[in-house]
């Protein structure tokens, strides 16, 4: 995927690093730390440059990509009254929150592991604004509002002004468009400064190759001092090769609650990262009875589509589909065997609760350059090792494939299955790519 | 442009991807194209000038260039760029080609070009009216005319999927893998495709569904169209609009893959980078309904797509819109081919009679043919028939340099070797091995330096200063005894011939202005015979229409020296035969002629 979310802390650090280059006339005192525990916070507070942690009132909140932290009651900014949180209280709060599972209003659940801690910034509601930018269709769009804070989502159309910036628009035209569209409810005294900030914000968003950048709220204090209270950002990671030095060592965390990849999925992801070929595996339902090994990205989608269609039409449900994934780009025999071993191992762990047969769909379109016989050799080797387990689960195998050397591949896999006593049906390009799904499910 | 490619379309292939290029040439041979579909290859880091490929059972050479600009200059008719650069450089390569101009379409295979760059690139191309296919695509095909790289897979699959000749369907997909599959489905259930494009899997691609479908609408070979979309994005709605406002009237069979996504709230990425639904309207199910409502032929599922294709095709056939297609003759690529170790482009001994650059030897050899040694040189060295004034000049040069007496180092060496009892060939090569920068090399040097000065418009005074800075005496200037007053008659003869027969003598004219300056400093600093030959050779090639780059290449490859080698071999052989006749004894140099200055070696 091209767009990757980054931590609020990393986003703010990037602002700070580039501040002098972009935001002339404004000040930003980057005071933020990212910690995983109360102890770590206390340790940083003893370091030179972080005296503010002991001297100022603090705000602490999880920094794990999800939003609506206020509504989820996950922002620590007051003990008795706003702006009285001490270092010790913040450390204690972090340890308390990390001690047990947290479930968000959205239903995501997991353990909190990363927190951002910053000084409490006293300010009035009038000083809060909203600003963000992203790509919509072919254009970039800058969004501005005189109202910051979490209420902005209610009444978006009335409160937020949009400025579309086509990719080929000159800076002069962009600046003109922004200045002409500053929200009318921004106080007259602040309009010029806000316009200037908005223009620089847009250039920063653009030059840093953000796909999405939102500050909600941005607070304009006295003397053009800016406070970035809440930030959400996604980078276009395909620009990584050009932005390496500018971005630095930026981390792309997985979404909260999604971290718990199974060891098998991790192993496949690991093999994928080391291979020139593409190996992907997502377990959708470990108890499901339909398991797939599909070659090719597009083909893997149509197999999943078709399984959903026919499972529902034949008295089953989408939960019958156990996994989604692909192997493509000319994997070696060894890589294919590993992939097959993993899928067959997962498939033979649980008996079907309704006593039905397990279905293994070995599908694929007509390959452009992948040698079908070579990849099937890996699958056959896996059959040889796992035949007894597969038989114990009444596995029925359906194969469809075309491409270089497919005749040999199909013949080999049929012979191997027959020799091992496995149920198999084998089809080539004369059969429609997904028709084996119908055959398997209509039985 | 109502067709993306024709049977005359030629491409410049950026990156020497030999497997993909070979597949294109196998296709060309199969469909009996007159010219190969790849006219040039850009290989920035290769030192080679060409790459060999099979063309059916034979081999052909495709020229290699270091830059797109050089490839385009050499093959201006090639108006398709196949950009196989990596995601790091694909943007720069595309932008350079767009700025160069002369391309009607550019295909980009790299996946993961930074989105902002891709957007700018696509916009720039659109403004220049250039069709971009990709990024992140396997390409496009106009069956029976032109095929990009690996699209369609192996040649066997191409023929099986009827991609070797024009059918009736216009096919547009996002996915490259399913493009192949769809071609197969269309071959089985209908009569193949007329034009097909896989638009690419990245979020921002150049030409989108609507761009390609509007072109196919105008292509008379396309009778109906198939659109295979994907979950995510809103491009399909542009097609719906075009159907509503009448810009598209041909039947469209459409399906969006990724209906599975509705069963999973988030976290699972089904398919490409561009495939992620941010709103209801971007889901596959929603788009399928919308397309059906707009009047497209939408099957009930992907699995029902073949039947839908058959149904629409049969209806169009019954209505007389589609008629039976006659299957054309094809060539069959041999399964086993062996690459040749050597290449010869000048002569051929395979026929009845050996030829020099296509001319049987008997048509050149005898006096009645009117051909001389100059003609033979022009055929075997330059693969061209030079006009008589030029072949006469070549012969004049060979005669002029044939010998310069026994005292020059080459002749002396040949004589010493002959007196040691060695054969003609051994004695000859000993003499020839002396030829180099100091002996005979002035011809090369004069051509090189005078041409440099002339190319760079240096005044004679600037030229002299330049050579002074280089610390090199001007090659071709100066004679032991001759001067303007006492001219070298060989030089006079060459100059006279050139003035009378050359169409122009620009470099000689320049050299004579230099000579005026040098002789004003010292009388014997005249343009000597080596200099005159080198300079007039440049004038000859200029008059024959060679480019300055080609002439520079002649000079750097040592062609001028070769004239001296051929001519002087005549003289050396004369000296060797002379020694054989005289039967002089083994030569020993007199000790009195050697300065002996030998010190005892120091210990270190």
Question: How near does any CA of chain A get to the CA of B468, in Å?
Answer: 47
- Candidates B113, B258, B266; nearest CB to A301: B258
Poorest-confidence range of A378-392, B324-338, B380-394?
Answer: B324-338
Q: Does residue B278 register a pLDDT over 80?
A: no
Over range B337-351, report the average pLDDT.
91
Q: Domains plus CATH for chain A? A: 263-442 (3.40.50.261)
Backbone angles phi, psi at B373, to 5 degrees: -65, -30
Torsion-angle region of A250 (φ positive above 0: left; ψ -120 to 50: alpha; else: beta):
beta
Nearest to B524 by CA among B511, B533, B515, B536: B515
Residue A258 makes CB contacts below 8 A (sequence gap 6+) with: A108, A110, B267
Judging contacts by C-beta atoms under 8 Å, the chain A residues touching residue B306 are: 432
Residue B277 pLDDT exceeds 60: no
Q: How far apart are CA B404 and CA B398, in angstroms?
A: 12
pLDDT for A393 beyond 70: yes
DSSP letter for A368, please.
Answer: S
- Nearest-by-CA chain B residue for A285: B264
Alpha carbon distance B133, B110 (integer Å): 11
Tell me the pLDDT band of B454, cut-offs 50, 70 and 90: very high
pLDDT tens digits, B238-252: 999 999 999 999 999
Tokens of A431: 């059969």
Query: What burial class does residue B104 get, using C-beta atoms within 10 Å of its C-beta: 0-12 exposed, 13-18 middle, 19+ buried?
Result: middle
B116 in contact with A at a CB cutoff of 8 Å? Answer: yes
Residue B181 has pLDDT above 60, yes or no: yes
* B interface test, pick of A211, A294, A298 with most B CB neighbours within 10 Å: A298
CB contact under 8 A, B123 and A297: no
Contact (Cβ atoms closer than 8 angstroms) between residue B257 and residue B270: no
Listed residue (A189, A178, A247, A233) closest to A17, CA to CA: A247
* CB-side neighbour CA atoms (13 Å) of B353: 11
- CA distance, residue A180 to nearest chain B CA (Å): 25
Q: Do A433 and B153 touch (CB under 8 A)?
A: no
The distance of A181 to chain B (nearest Cα, Å) reads: 24
Q: Please answer yes or no on whether A368 and B269 come within 8 Å at the CB atom.
A: no
CA distance A131 to A146: 9
Contact indicator for A279, A335 with CB cutoff of 8 Å: yes
Report, as an integer, the average pLDDT of B490-495: 94
**Mean pLDDT, chain B, whole residue set:** 93
Q: What is the pLDDT of residues A204-245, one digit of tens each?
A: 999 999 999 999 999 999 889 999 999 999 999 899 999 999
As a whole number of angstroms, the longest Cα–Cα distance in chain B is 111
Q: Assess B308–A contact: CB distance below 8 Å, yes or no.
A: no
Q: Which of A329-333, A348-352, B590-594 comes out lowest in average pLDDT?
A: A329-333
DSSP E strand stretches across A51-193: 58-62, 102-103, 109-110, 115-119, 128-136, 139-145, 160-165
> Which residue of chain A comes nearest to B149, CA vs CA?
A368
From the list B135, B134, B120, B74, the residue with the least C-alpha distance to B100 is B74
3-state secondary structure of B100: helix
Share of chain A above pLDDT 70, in %: 98
Q: Considering only alpha carbons, which residue of chain B is nearest residue A283? A: B268
Question: Which of B174, B228, B259, B303 has the most A C-beta neighbours within 10 Å, making it the best mutation to test the interface with A?
Answer: B303
Picking from A1, A209, A241, the nearest residue to B88 by CB comes out as A241
Our CA-based measurement puts residue B80 at a distance from the nearest CA of chain A, in whole angstroms, of 22
Q: Pseudo-torsion of CA B298, B299, B305, B306, nearest 10°?
A: -100
Show residues of chain A in contact with B204, CB under 8 Å.
Answer: 138
- The vertex-A392 CA angle with A389 and A398, nearest 5°, equals 80
Distance CA A277, CA A259 (A): 24
Cβ pair B303:A284 closer than 8 A: no
β-strand pairing of A109-110 with A102-103: antiparallel
Q: Give the residue among A165, A172, A194, A174 at the shortest CA–CA distance from A182.
A: A194
Residue A216 has φ and ψ, to the nearest 5°, of -150, 95
Write out the H or E segment, with its range, that includes residue B297.
none
Cβ contacts of B303 on chain A, cutoff 8 Å: 306, 309-310, 432, 434-435, 437-438
pLDDT in tens, B514-537: 999 999 989 999 999 999 999 999
- Report the residue from B115, B188, B260 with minimal CB separation from A308: B260
Q: Quick check: A344 and A389 in contact, CB under 8 A?
A: yes
B112 pLDDT above the threshold of 90: no
Give the C-alpha separation, B596 to B248, whole Å.
98
* pLDDT for B265: 61
Contact assignment for B138 to A242 by CB distance below 8 Å? no
Residues of B in contact with A321 (CB under 8 A): 260
Cα torsion angle, B513, B514, B520, B524, sign: negative
Q: Contacts of residue A241 in chain B, CB cutoff 8 Å?
A: 87-88
Instruction: Please tell me the least confidently modeled range out of A8-12, B335-339, B452-456, B519-523.
Output: B335-339
- Distance (Å, whole) CA B83 – CA B65: 14
pLDDT of the residue at B255: 97
Apex B534 CA angle, B533 and B538, nearest 5: 110
Question: Which of A368, A437, A438 is nearest residue B150 as measured by Cβ atoms?
Answer: A368
The pLDDT confidence band at residue A109, using thresholds 50, 70 and 90, is confident
Q: Residue B392 above 60 pLDDT?
A: yes
Are the C-beta atoms of A195 and A146 separated by less than 8 Å?
no
- Whether the pLDDT of residue A434 is over 80: the answer is yes
Q: In a 3-state reduction of DSSP, which class is residue A348? A: coil
ipTM for the complex? 0.88
Give the pLDDT score at A266.
Answer: 87
**What is the mean predicted confidence (pLDDT) over B163-169?**
97
Residue of A nearest to B204 (CA): A138
- Which chain A positions have a beta carbon within 8 Å of B276's beta carbon? 1
Q: Which of B175, B185, B234 minimises the CB distance to A432? A: B185
For tokens 């004038």, the residue is B539
- Please say if B272 is a catalytic residue: yes
CB-based burial of residue A99 (10 Å sphere; 0-12 exposed, 13-18 middle, 19+ buried)? exposed
Q: How far is CA B58 from the centre of its chain?
A: 19
- Per the listing, tokens 């060999």 go with B52
Residue percentage of chain B with pLDDT more than 90: 86
The DSSP result for B528-550, as a single string, is -HHHHHHHHHHHHHHHTT--HHH
Q: What SS3 class is residue B504?
A: coil
Mean pLDDT value of segment A92-115: 92
Chain B residues with CB-CB distance to A310 below 8 A: 303
Q: Work out the pLDDT band at B484, boundaries 50, 70, 90.
A: confident
For residue B238, the model assigns a pLDDT of: 96
Query: CA-CA distance, B239 to B217, in Å (whole number)?
Result: 12
Measured in degrees and rounded to the nearest 5, phi and psi for residue A173 equal -65, -40
Q: How far apart are the C-alpha atoms of A378 and A367, rounded to whole Å?
A: 17
Tell me the range of A98-107, B261-270, B297-306 where mean pLDDT is highest: B297-306
Catalytic residue among B164, B272, B297, B575: B272
Nearest residue, CB atoms, B257 vs list A239, A305, A321: A305
Rounded to whole angstroms, how far apart are CA atoms A406 and A362? 13
User: Is A117 strand, coil or helix?
Assistant: strand
The region of weakest confidence among A257-266, A359-368, B151-160, B411-420 is A257-266
Q: Are B39 and B12 in contact (CB under 8 A)?
A: yes
| Average pLDDT estimate for B290-296 | 96
Spatial separation of the C-alpha atoms in residues B36 and B33, rounded to whole Å: 7
Q: Is the full-model pTM beyond 0.80?
A: yes
Instruction: Report residue A162: phi and psi, to 5°.
Output: -110, 140
3-state secondary structure string, B125-163? Answer: HHHCCCEEECCCCCEEEECCCEECCCCCCCHHHHHHCCC
The DSSP result for A154-218, as a single string, is: TTHHHHEEEEEE-TT--HHHHHHHHHHT--TTS-HHHHHHHHHHHHHHHHHHHHTTEEEEEEEEE
Residue B464: count of CB within 10 angstroms of its CB: 18
Query: A296–B177: do the CB atoms touch at under 8 Å?
Result: yes
Residue A367's nearest CA partner among B226, B147, B178 is: B178
B200, B177 Cβ separation under 8 angstroms: no
Lookup result for tokens 């050397």: A405
Q: Which domains does chain B possess?
A: 11-318 (3.40.50.261), 409-429+434-582 (1.10.230.10)
Residue A133 has pLDDT above 70, yes or no: yes
Tell me whether residues A306 and B302 touch, CB distance under 8 A: yes
Q: For residue range B42-73, list pLDDT tens digits in order.
A: 999 998 999 999 999 999 999 999 999 999 99
Q: Is A411 helix (H, G, I), strand (E, B) or coil?
A: helix
Helix axes B506-521, B460-470, angle to 10 degrees: 70
Residues 6+ apart with CB under 8 A from B598: none
The tokens for B492 are 């006079």
């Amino acid at each position: 995927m091209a767009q990757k979310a980054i931590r609020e802390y990393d986003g703010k650090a990037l602002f700070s690093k580039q501040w002098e280059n972009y935001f002339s006339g404004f000040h930003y005192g980057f005071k933020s730390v990212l910690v995983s525990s109360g102890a770590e916070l206390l340790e940083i507070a003893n370091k030179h440059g972080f005296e503010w942690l002991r001297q100022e009132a603090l705000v602490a909140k999880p920094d794990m990509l999800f939003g609506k932290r206020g509504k989820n009651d996950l922002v620590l900014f007051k003990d008795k009254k706003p702006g009285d949180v001490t270092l010790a209280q913040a450390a204690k709060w972090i340890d308390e929150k990390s001690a047990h599972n947290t479930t968000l209003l959205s239903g995501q659940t997991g353990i909190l592991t990363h927190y951002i801690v910053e000084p409490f910034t006293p300010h009035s509601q009038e000083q809060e604004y909203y600003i963000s930018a992203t790509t919509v269709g072919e254009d970039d769009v800058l969004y501005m509002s005189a109202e910051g804070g979490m209420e902005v989502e209610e009444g978006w159309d009335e409160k937020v002004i949009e400025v579309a910036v086509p990719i080929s628009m000159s800076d002069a035209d962009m600046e003109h468009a922004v200045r002409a569209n500053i929200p009318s409810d921004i106080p007259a005294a602040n309009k010029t400064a806000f316009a200037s900030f908005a223009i620089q914000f847009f250039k920063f968003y653009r030059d840093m190759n953000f796909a999405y950048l939102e500050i909600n709220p941005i607070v304009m204090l006295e003397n053009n001092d800016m406070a970035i209270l809440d930030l959400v950002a996604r980078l276009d990671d395909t620009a990584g090769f050009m932005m390496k030095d500018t971005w630095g060592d930026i981390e792309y965390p997985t979404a909260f609650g999604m971290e718990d990849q199974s060891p098998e999925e991790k192993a496949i992801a690991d093999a994928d990262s080391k291979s020139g070929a593409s190996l992907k595996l997502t377990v959708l339902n470990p108890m499901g009875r339909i398991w797939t090994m599909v070659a090719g990205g597009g083909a893997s989608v149509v197999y999943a589509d078709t399984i959903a269609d026919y499972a529902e039409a034949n008295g089953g449900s989408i939960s019958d589909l156990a996994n989604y994934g692909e192997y493509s780009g000319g994997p070696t025999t060894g890589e294919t065997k590993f992939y097959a071993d993993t899928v067959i191992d997962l498939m033979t762990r649980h008996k079907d609760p309704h006593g039905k047969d397990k279905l293994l769909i070995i599908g694929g379109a007509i390959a452009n350059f992948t040698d079908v016989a070579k990849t099937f050799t890996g699958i056959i080797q896996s059959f040889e090792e796992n035949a007894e387990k597969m038989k114990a689960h009444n596995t029925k195998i359906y194969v469809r494939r075309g491409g270089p050397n497919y005749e040999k591949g199909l013949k080999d896999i049929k012979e191997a299955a027959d020799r091992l006593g496995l149920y198999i049906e084998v089809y080539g390009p004369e059969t429609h790519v997904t028709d084996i799904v119908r055959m398997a499910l209509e039985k | 442009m109502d067709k993306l490619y024709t049977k005359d379309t030629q491409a410049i292939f950026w990156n020497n991807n030999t497997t993909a290029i070979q597949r294109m040439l196998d296709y060309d041979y199969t469909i009996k194209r007159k010219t190969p579909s790849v006219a040039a290859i850009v290989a920035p880091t290769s030192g080679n000038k060409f790459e060999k490929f099979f063309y059916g059972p034979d081999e052909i050479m495709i020229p290699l260039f270091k830059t797109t600009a050089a490839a385009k200059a050499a093959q201006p008719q090639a108006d398709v760029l196949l950009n196989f650069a990596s995601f790091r450089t694909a943007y720069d390569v595309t932008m350079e080609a767009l700025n160069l101009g002369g391309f009607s379409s550019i295909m980009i295979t790299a996946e993961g070009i930074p989105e902002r760059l891709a957007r700018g690139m696509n916009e720039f191309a659109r403004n220049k009216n250039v069709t971009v296919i990709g990024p992140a695509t396997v390409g496009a095909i106009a069956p029976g005319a032109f095929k990009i790289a690996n699209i369609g897979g192996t040649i066997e699959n191409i023929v099986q999927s009827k991609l070797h000749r024009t059918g009736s369907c216009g096919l547009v997909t996002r996915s490259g893998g399913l493009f192949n599959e769809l071609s197969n489905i269309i071959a089985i259930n209908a009569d193949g495709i007329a034009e097909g494009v896989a638009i690419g899997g990245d979020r921002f691609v150049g030409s989108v569904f609507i761009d390609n479908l509007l072109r196919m609408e105008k292509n008379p070979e396309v009778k109906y169209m198939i659109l295979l979309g994907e979950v995510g994005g809103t491009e399909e709605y542009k097609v719906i609009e075009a159907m509503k406002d009448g810009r598209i009237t041909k039947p469209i069979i459409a399906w969006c893959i990724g209906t599975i996504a509705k069963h999973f709230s988030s976290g699972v990425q089904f398919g490409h980078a561009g495939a992620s639904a941010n709103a209801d309207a971007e889901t596959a199910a929603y788009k399928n309904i919308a397309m059906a409502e707009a009047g497209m032929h939408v099957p009930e599922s992907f699995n029902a797509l073949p039947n839908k294709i058959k149904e629409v095709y049969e209806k169009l056939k019954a209505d007389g819109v589609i008629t039976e297609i006659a299957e054309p003759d094809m060539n069959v690529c041999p399964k086993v081919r062996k690459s040749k170790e050597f290449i010869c482009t000048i002569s051929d001994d395979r026929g009845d009679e050996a030829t020099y650059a296509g001319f049987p030897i008997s048509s050149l050899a005898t006096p009645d043919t009117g051909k001389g040694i100059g003609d033979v040189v022009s055929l075997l060295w330059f693969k061209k028939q030079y006009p008589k004034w030029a072949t006469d000049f070549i012969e004049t040069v060979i005669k002029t340099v044939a010998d310069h007496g026994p005292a020059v180092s080459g002749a002396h060496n040949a004589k010493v070797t002959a007196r040691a009892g060695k054969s003609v060939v051994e004695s000859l090569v000993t003499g020839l091995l002396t030829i180099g920068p100091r002996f005979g090399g002035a011809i090369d040097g004069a051509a090189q330096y005078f041409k440099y000065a002339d190319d760079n418009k240096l005044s004679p005074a600037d030229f002299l200063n330049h050579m002074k800075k280089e610390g090199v005496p001007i090659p071709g200037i100066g004679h032991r005894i001759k001067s303007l007053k006492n001219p070298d008659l060989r030089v006079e003869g060459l100059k006279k011939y050139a003035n009378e027969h050359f169409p122009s003598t620009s470099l000689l004219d320049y050299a004579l202005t230099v000579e005026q300056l040098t002789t004003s400093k010292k009388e014997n600093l005249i343009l000597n015979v080596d200099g005159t030959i080198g300079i007039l050779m440049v004038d000859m090639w200029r008059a024959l229409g060679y480019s300055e780059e080609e002439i520079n290449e002649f000079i750097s490859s040592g062609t001028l020296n070769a004239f001296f080698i051929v001519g002087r071999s005549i003289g050396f052989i004369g000296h060797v035969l002379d020694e054989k006749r005289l039967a002089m004894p083994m030569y020993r140099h007199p000790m009195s002629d050697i300065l002996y200055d030998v010190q005892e070696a120091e210990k270190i």
